[in-house]
């Protein structure tokens, strides 16, 4: 059988249209790969039989109206999928089967794609290494015992290992961009409100945003276009027209101004990250962009603010998992005991840690000092970006302060784990779009990404800039298939 | 008329005490669907049949505000002469309970949709103003049912997510009677506006009652207790009486009142501690990130203001002016919109003075007797007008009318039909009456002599005899006139 799994999303779409291969052949390729990649532990639930059926049905009718006609796609297990188990990586929802489909996945299916399976992630999307999932660690195809980043770690790993042609994740503080950077893939967090949050298991409502994770920038533009749009069921979704990102994608970025924020040069940042950043600057200059030094003075307060706002919202969002209506329920002699046992057993340590932090910062007597102050800082961070965007069209930074690390390395040190998100978190606080594009390797041959941050609802500009970097970086996937069985 | 003076004080062993009361009234908004979902709000459905994925807080579900409920609360705010806030925020009130699916209630905390307003009470000692502190929107919880099974609690989420307005008064109320008048007035205003049906049996109107006491003359308020979720005016009054006495007893023993939340036990007529201040929930309020702040457009508020119906206070003034009613009569007639509508319908075609008496007198008595609403009365406004007209046109006497009304209220029959079929018409033909009177005079010549010599009291005797002879149908006015002439 011909292995079609190394093709990009766009190539697969045009190939089906040109009858180079069938949807069934594509689907089989990815299923075949997935079956040999159990060591990566990317899938929580596979939907292979149904996917094959969907592929065959597609091949019979060959309807090419959608942007993603005939394409199987595996998605992060945070998106509710009708009649397919949705766990959020938690014991709490380990047997939960929604009767409804999230808006974002519905959008994909409307464009002709179908579900290949549900991908592992950190429990309730809380984590930066995919070590908090009830279903076990996800591993990075770039190295044995290497983590893929998180929380969309299963998505990033599956994509890098060619187990799905593209995928979608969610990003609350970097959960798309950091794993994309760690796996040599492209990941974009859209502007807050660009994609509907309806039907996505909530972590922190004011920060959560779904986004595409793809092999290259062209695929990213297409998938973003397919999944975005206003949704009356989400009050925070934006009534702004979705651009034709893929049609408008070009690297004619001559004259665009790109800012380099000095505050992103953090302590103990490896030299190679700095070097990568400089290379990024050169690529953009080469493509005709104008580079400007800018300042985002409140950057250093972003991480502490994030770790107040996100847990605060999470502590409330996760209150619904109480054993009463659905999901895990433990026994207890009375209601309170049932709650305590259910939540003690149903949630893992990282989730409990954040619920405790969140409950604490919202408590009376602490609310003003923590939550209110964090909200003020959040506004200042947003103001920083507003100010910067008066002079530049986008901002270039590294995606992460390091490359992927070994499982267990930071698991018992939450602070150093949280530092992973230092470059990605400010973007979520400001509600802006940002993309991580692979731009090189570190000395251990691990991928590194560059982040481009755009103005609100200007995903097109960062896609175009990323395309310019992608063309010049010449990043090649170098995976030794250690996991294959 | 001398006005009565306010005199609700409670005499303790040592002092006279004043009772201070503030109310948090929870009024269910009249709307087809819930505050943040499209589920039906209809009362009395099978358990858990009006529950959406949002109401039961499934993963990934999001609230979307029901615009109609917003307009209903603006309307209510305007009816309370209150400030409508152009900017308001929905907050989450976090606590765990089996009938609270989200683990939080969406409410409004720091920035409510409606600010300060006022309500006027017509008390025997004059008009009393009660200040409103705020009105905010919130969702109702579900219902826990503990007595269906010895080991399990059942939860019905039909109520979960229904829109409530919480109307918070300042501590301006001073007696159970004022509380009663206040709640009735609020209910009346909301029913006029169509924003709450005010049905206390169905739980559309409940209140948390804050009670404290202070010695007469003291300026400072005492420590208050909050009595949760009282669902009838009578129980509110009883609870206040009990709670005030309890507090007075404690204070007269020189002990302190614990600020606490209490429950009113309707069977034992007592309040019991639910939780102390120390055990009070920390609700961890914070703005709901799933909902944007509410920015109200000035035009919308003005449009609602323009379309506001006539409210009880305005209607009362108009009734006094247009129908020359007393303040008491007007007050009774505007207390419920249905009553005022009934009244206006009746007086459109009949004598206003007589109609007023009939409505406030016999009709109200019949409603009380049957314990029904005016809209359920078999005596419709049209029939009431006919009855009044049959009196003013002399077809029947007032006394006969009472007889006719007794039949009407049971059968709903047309008064004219009753008069016809029972032959109750008055004898108003002067010639016929003269014949009868002549007979009476001729057969009582001795009495006529006595009358002419000054025994005036005998006039009544002649009237009585005439009525008797006419079978009670003689028109009394005409009988008087003719007798006076004949006996000269």
Please tell me the predicted confidence (pLDDT) of residue B3: 64
Q: Does B92 touch chain A (CB under 8 A)?
A: yes
What integer is the mean pLDDT of A404-420? 87
Check residue B362 and report its DSSP letter.
Answer: I
**Residues B201-211: what's their mean pLDDT?**
95
Phi, psi of A204 (to 5 degrees): -130, 105
Is B289 within 8 Å of A99 when comparing Cβ atoms?
no
Separation CA A346–CA A342 (nearest Å): 6
Residues in chain B: 488
Taking CA atoms, A12 is separated from A25, A185, A202, A250, in Å, by 11, 17, 32, 20
Q: What is the CA radius of gyration of chain B?
A: 30
Asked whether the predicted pLDDT for residue A459 surpasses 70, the reply is yes
Check CB contact of B286 with chain A, cutoff 8 Å. yes
- Percentage, residues of chain B above pLDDT 90: 78
pLDDT tier for residue A311 given thresholds of 50, 70 and 90:
very high
Residues in chain A with CB shorter than 8 Å from the CB of B291 are 235-236
Is a pLDDT exceeding 50 seen at residue B297?
A: yes
What span, in angstroms and rounded, lies between the C-alpha atoms of B48 and B186?
31
Cross-chain residue pair B64–A88, CB shorter than 8 Å: no
**Is A104 in the B-facing interface, judged by CB distances under 8 Å?**
no
Fold that domain B430-486 belongs to in CATH: Arc Repressor Mutant, subunit A (1.10.10)
Which are the catalytic amino acids of A?
Answer: 76, 151, 175
What is the structure's pLDDT at A298? 97
A394–B contact, CB cutoff 8 A: no
The average pLDDT across A339-359 equals 98
* Cβ-based contacts of A88 with chain B (< 8 Å): 59
3-class SS of residue B269: coil
Taking CA–CA distances from B65, the nearest residue in chain A reads: A235
Contact A362 B292 (CB under 8 A): no
How far is it, in rounded angstroms, from Cα B283 to Cα A321? 18
Question: How far is A324 from chain B, CA to nearest CA, in Å?
Answer: 6
Name the DSSP class of A368.
I
Report the C-alpha gap between A211 and B128 in whole angstroms: 60
Contacts of A376 (CB under 8 A, 6+ apart): none
Burial of B110 (0-12, 13-18, 19+ CB in 10 A): exposed
Size of interface A-B (CB pairs under 8 A): 95
The residues that bridge with A67 in the sheet, in sequence order, are none
For the stretch B351-394, pLDDT in tens is 999 999 999 999 999 999 999 999 999 999 999 999 999 999 88
Average pLDDT of span B185-207: 94
Confidence of residue B122 (pLDDT cuts 50, 70, 90): very high
Domain range summary for chain B, segments of one domain joined by +: 10-305, 310-422, 430-486
pLDDT (mean) for A401-428: 91
Q: Is residue A358 part of a domain?
A: no
| Chain B partners within 8 Å of A326 (Cβ) | 58
The whole-angstrom separation of Cα A182 and Cα B424 is 101
Q: In this structure, what token pair is assigned to residue B367?
A: 């409603």
Taking CB atoms and an 8 Å limit, are A202 and B59 in contact across chains? yes
Mean pLDDT of A160-189: 98
Closest C-alpha among B106, B86, B83 to residue B94: B106
CA of A306 vs chain B CAs: smallest distance (Å): 14
| pLDDT higher than threshold 70 for residue B40 | yes
pLDDT of residue B289: 98
Contact A371 B286 (CB under 8 A): yes
Asked if the model's pLDDT at residue A1 lies above 80, the reply is no
Residue-wise pLDDT tens digits, B434-478: 888 889 888 888 888 888 888 888 888 988 888 888 877 888 888
- β-strands B163-169, A186-189 pairing: unpaired
Residue B156, min C-alpha distance to chain A (Å): 11
Domain of A112, CATH number, reads 3.90.1300.10
Interface contact B155, partner A, CB < 8 A: yes
A286 has a pLDDT exceeding 60: yes
**Residue A362 in contact with partner chain B when CB distance is under 8 A:** yes
Contact list, B289 vs chain A (CB under 8 Å): 204-206, 236, 313
Evaluate whether residue A219 is within a structural domain: yes
Q: What is the pLDDT of residues B325-336, one digit of tens each?
A: 999 999 999 999
pLDDT at B69 over 60: yes
Query: Residue A46: beta bridge partners?
Result: A117
Round to whole Å and give the CA distance between A88 and B68: 35
pLDDT surpassing 90 at residue A4: yes
User: For chain A, what is the domain count?
Assistant: 1
pLDDT of residue A413: 85
Residue A223 to residue A111: CA distance in whole angstroms:
10
Mean pLDDT of chain B: 93
Mean pLDDT of A208-223: 98
* Helix (H/G/I), strand (E/B), else coil: B229: strand
Mean residue pLDDT across chain A: 96
- Give the residue numbers spanning the domain of A37: 9-263+274-296+384-473
Over 60: is that where the pLDDT of B278 sits? yes
Q: What is the pLDDT of residues A9-36, one digit of tens each?
A: 999 999 999 999 999 999 999 999 999 9
pLDDT reading at B1 higher than 60: no
Say which of A235, A318, A320 has its CB closest to residue B101.
A320
Share of chain A above pLDDT 90, in %: 95
The span from the CA of A367 to the CA of A390, in Å, is 34
For residue B442 the two structure tokens come to 């001729």
- State pLDDT tens for residues A53-64: 999 999 999 899
């Amino acid at each position: 059988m011909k292995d079609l799994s190394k093709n990009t999303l766009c190539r697969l779409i045009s190939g089906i249209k040109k009858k180079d291969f069938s949807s069934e052949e594509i689907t089989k390729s990815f299923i075949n790969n997935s079956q040999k990649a159990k060591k990566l532990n990317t899938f929580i639930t596979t939907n292979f039989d149904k996917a094959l059926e969907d592929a065959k049905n597609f091949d019979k009718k060959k309807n090419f109206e959608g942007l993603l006609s005939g394409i199987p796609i595996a998605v992060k297990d945070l998106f509710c999928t009708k009649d397919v188990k949705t766990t959020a990586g938690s014991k709490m929802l380990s047997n939960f089967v929604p009767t409804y489909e999230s808006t974002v996945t519905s959008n994909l299916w409307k464009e002709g794609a179908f579900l290949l399976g549900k991908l592992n992630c950190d429990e309730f999307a809380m984590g930066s290494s995919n070590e908090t999932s009830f279903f076990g660690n996800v591993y990075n195809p770039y190295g044995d015992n290497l983590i893929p980043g998180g929380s969309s770690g299963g998505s990033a790993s599956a994509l890098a290992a060619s187990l799905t042609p593209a995928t979608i994740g969610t990003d609350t503080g970097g959960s798309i961009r950091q794993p994309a950077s760690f796996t040599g893939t492209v990941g974009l967090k859209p502007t807050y409100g660009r994609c509907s949050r309806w039907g996505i298991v909530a972590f922190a409502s004011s920060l959560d945003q779904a986004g595409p994770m793809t092999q290259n920038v062209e695929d990213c533009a297409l998938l973003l276009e397919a999944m975005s749009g206003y949704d009356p069921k989400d009050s925070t979704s934006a009534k702004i027209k979705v651009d034709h990102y893929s049609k408008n994608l070009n690297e004619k970025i001559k004259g665009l101004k790109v800012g380099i924020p000095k505050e992103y040069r953090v302590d103990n940042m490896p030299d190679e990250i700095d070097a990568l950043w400089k290379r990024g600057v050169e690529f953009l200059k080469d493509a005709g962009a104008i580079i400007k030094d800018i300042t985002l003075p409140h950057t250093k307060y972003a991480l502490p603010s994030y770790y107040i706002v996100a847990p605060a919202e999470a502590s409330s969002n996760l209150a619904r998992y109480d054993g009463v209506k659905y999901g895990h329920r433990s026994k207890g002699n009375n209601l309170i005991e049932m709650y305590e046992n259910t939540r003690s057993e149903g949630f893992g340590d990282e989730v409990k840690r954040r619920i405790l932090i969140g409950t604490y910062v919202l408590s009376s007597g602490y609310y003003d000092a923590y939550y209110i102050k964090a909200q003020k800082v959040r506004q200042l961070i947003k103001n920083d970006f507003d100010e910067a965007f008066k002079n530049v069209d986008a901002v270039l930074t590294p995606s992460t302060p390091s490359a992927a690390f070994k499982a267990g390395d930071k698991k018992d040190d939450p602070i150093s784990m949280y530092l992973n998100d230092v470059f990605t978190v400010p973007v979520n606080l400001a509600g802006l779009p940002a993309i991580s594009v692979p731009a090189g390797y570190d000395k251990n041959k691990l991928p590194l990404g560059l982040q481009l941050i755009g103005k609100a609802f200007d995903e097109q500009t960062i896609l175009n800039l990323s395309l310019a970097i992608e063309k010049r970086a010449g990043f090649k996937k170098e995976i030794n298939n250690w996991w294959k069985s | 008329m001398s006005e009565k003076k306010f005199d609700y004080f409670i005499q303790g062993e040592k002092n006279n005490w004043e009772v201070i009361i503030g109310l948090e009234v929870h009024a269910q908004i009249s709307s087809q669907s819930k505050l943040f979902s499209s589920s039906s709000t209809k009362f009395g459905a099978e358990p858990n049949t009006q529950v959406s994925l949002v109401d039961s807080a499934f993963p990934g579900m999001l609230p979307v505000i029901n615009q109609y409920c917003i307009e209903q609360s603006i309307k209510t705010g305007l009816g309370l002469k209150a400030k409508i806030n152009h900017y308001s925020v929905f907050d989450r009130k976090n606590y765990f309970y089996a009938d609270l699916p989200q683990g939080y209630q969406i409410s409004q905390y720091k920035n409510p949709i409606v600010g300060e307003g006022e309500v006027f009470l017509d008390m025997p000692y004059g008009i009393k103003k009660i200040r409103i502190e705020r009105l905010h929107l919130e969702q109702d919880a579900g219902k826990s049912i503990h007595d269906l099974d010895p080991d399990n609690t059942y939860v019905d989420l039909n109520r979960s997510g229904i829109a409530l307005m919480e109307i918070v008064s300042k501590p301006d109320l001073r007696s159970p009677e004022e509380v009663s008048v206040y709640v009735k007035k609020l209910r009346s205003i909301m029913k006029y506006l169509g924003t709450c049906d005010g049905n206390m049996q169905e739980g559309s109107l409940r209140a948390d009652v804050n009670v404290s006491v202070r010695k007469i003359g003291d300026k400072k308020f005492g420590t208050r207790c909050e009595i949760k979720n009282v669902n009838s005016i009578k129980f509110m009054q009883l609870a206040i009486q009990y709670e005030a006495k309890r507090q007075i007893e404690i204070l007269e023993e020189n002990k302190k009142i614990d600020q606490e939340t209490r429950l009113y036990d309707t069977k034992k007529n007592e309040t019991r501690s639910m939780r102390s201040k120390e055990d009070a929930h920390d609700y961890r309020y914070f703005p709901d990130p799933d909902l944007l702040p509410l920015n109200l457009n000035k035009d919308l508020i003005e449009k609602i203001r323009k379309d506001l119906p006539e409210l009880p206070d305005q209607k009362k003034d108009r009734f006094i002016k247009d129908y020359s009613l007393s303040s008491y009569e007007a007050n009774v007639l505007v207390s419920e919109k249905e009553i005022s509508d009934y009244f206006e319908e009746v007086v459109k075609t009949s004598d206003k003075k007589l109609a007023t008496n009939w409505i406030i007198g016999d009709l109200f008595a019949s409603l009380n007797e049957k314990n029904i609403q005016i809209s359920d009365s078999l005596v419709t406004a049209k029939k009431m007008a006919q009855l009044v007209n049959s009196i003013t046109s002399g077809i029947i006497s007032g006394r006969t009318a009472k007889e006719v009304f007794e039949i009407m209220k049971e059968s709903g029959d047309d008064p004219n039909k009753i008069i016809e079929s029972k032959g109750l018409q008055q004898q108003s033909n002067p010639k016929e009456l003269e014949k009868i009177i002549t007979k009476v005079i001729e057969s009582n010549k001795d009495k006529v002599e006595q009358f002419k010599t000054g025994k005036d009291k005998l006039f009544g005797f002649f009237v009585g005899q005439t009525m008797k002879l006419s079978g009670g149908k003689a028109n009394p006015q005409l009988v008087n006139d003719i007798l006076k002439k004949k006996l000269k």
